[in-house]
């Protein structure tokens, strides 16, 4: 019985070999450890806020910001950047700079407003999540010199600074509830806006600088140590309004 040629096995030289690249096993420990620490600090802020320790919650958010800055720097310096690390960092940012500030401010002030309070908090969380999603999608097509929309760590800095200042001056959250609600909602809108914010990524921190520059850094640290709550709040607030202000100045020229 003659076998149909179509049923005969093809010759090795006629078979197409498809090279399948297997994903690398494991993850880089060092940068992802900083991301995990940032996530932990954000989660601790939520727990502290629920327990009424609002000053600790605000400080934890600022610590999370420092750790979030370090994880990217460490990944680049050690050549351990990965797609997993980028995705993990974004998820950690949603918790540490989106959910955490919103829940802490809700516990401190916004819950006295009822539905209006939690809606304002949700606008902030949704704006932060959308901001991160847009940033990840447009990462390779936008000018690295500027951020499009307010970065979520900066928005969290305004929230944490506002909370820490209020607690430091003995102000009750309920007495500031309407102001806090407006600021919270506006920050959420700024994060999804098209305002440009300077990213500071073009600053050369590796080159040598005059000795007086080091003295200036020491002076800045000394000044911030005097009143860290209000100075941090003002710093991030100025950065938050810089986008709309620069846009207005640009269109009026």
Residue-wise pLDDT for 113-139, tens only, equals: 999 999 999 999 999 999 999 988 887
Domain boundaries, the chain: 28-201+208-252
Sequential pLDDT tens for the chain (253 residues): 455 555 555 554 444 444 445 555 677 888 899 999 999 999 999 999 999 999 999 999 999 999 999 988 888 888 888 889 889 999 999 999 999 999 999 999 999 999 999 999 999 999 999 999 998 888 777 767 889 999 999 999 999 999 999 999 999 889 999 999 999 999 999 999 999 998 887 676 667 778 888 899 899 999 999 999 999 999 999 999 999 999 998 886 6
Residue-wise pLDDT for 176-213, tens only, equals: 999 999 999 999 999 999 999 988 876 766 677 788 88
Contact between 150 and 193 (Cβ < 8 Å)? yes
Q: What is the pTM of this model?
A: 0.85
Write down the CATH number for the domain with range 28-201+208-252: 1.20.120.1760
């Amino acid at each position: 019985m003659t076998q149909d040629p179509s049923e005969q096995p093809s010759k090795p030289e006629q078979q197409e070999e498809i090279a399948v690249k297997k994903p690398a096993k494991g993850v880089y420990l060092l940068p992802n450890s900083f991301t995990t620490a940032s996530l932990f600090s954000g989660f601790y802020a939520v727990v502290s806020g629920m327990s009424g320790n609002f000053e600790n919650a605000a400080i934890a958010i600022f610590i999370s910001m420092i750790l979030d800055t370090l994880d990217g720097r460490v990944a680049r310096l050690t050549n351990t950047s990965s797609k997993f690390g980028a995705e993990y960092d974004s998820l950690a940012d949603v918790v540490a700079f989106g959910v955490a500030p919103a829940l802490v401010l809700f516990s401190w002030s916004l819950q006295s407003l009822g539905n209006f309070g939690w809606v304002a908090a949700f606008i902030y969380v949704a704006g932060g999540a959308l901001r991160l999603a847009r940033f990840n999608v447009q990462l390779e097509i936008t000018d690295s010199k500027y951020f499009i929309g307010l970065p979520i760590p900066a928005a969290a800095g305004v929230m944490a600074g506002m909370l820490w200042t209020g607690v430091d001056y003995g102000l009750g959250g309920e007495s500031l509830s309407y102001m806090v609600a407006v600021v919270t909602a506006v920050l959420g809108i700024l994060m999804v806006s098209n305002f440009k914010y300077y990213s500071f990524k073009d600053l050369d921190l590796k080159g040598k600088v005059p000795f007086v520059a080091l003295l200036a850094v020491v002076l800045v640290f000394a000044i911030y140590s005097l009143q860290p709550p209000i100075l941090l709040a003002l710093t991030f607030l100025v950065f938050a309004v810089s986008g709309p202000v620069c846009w207005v100045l640009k269109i009026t020229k």
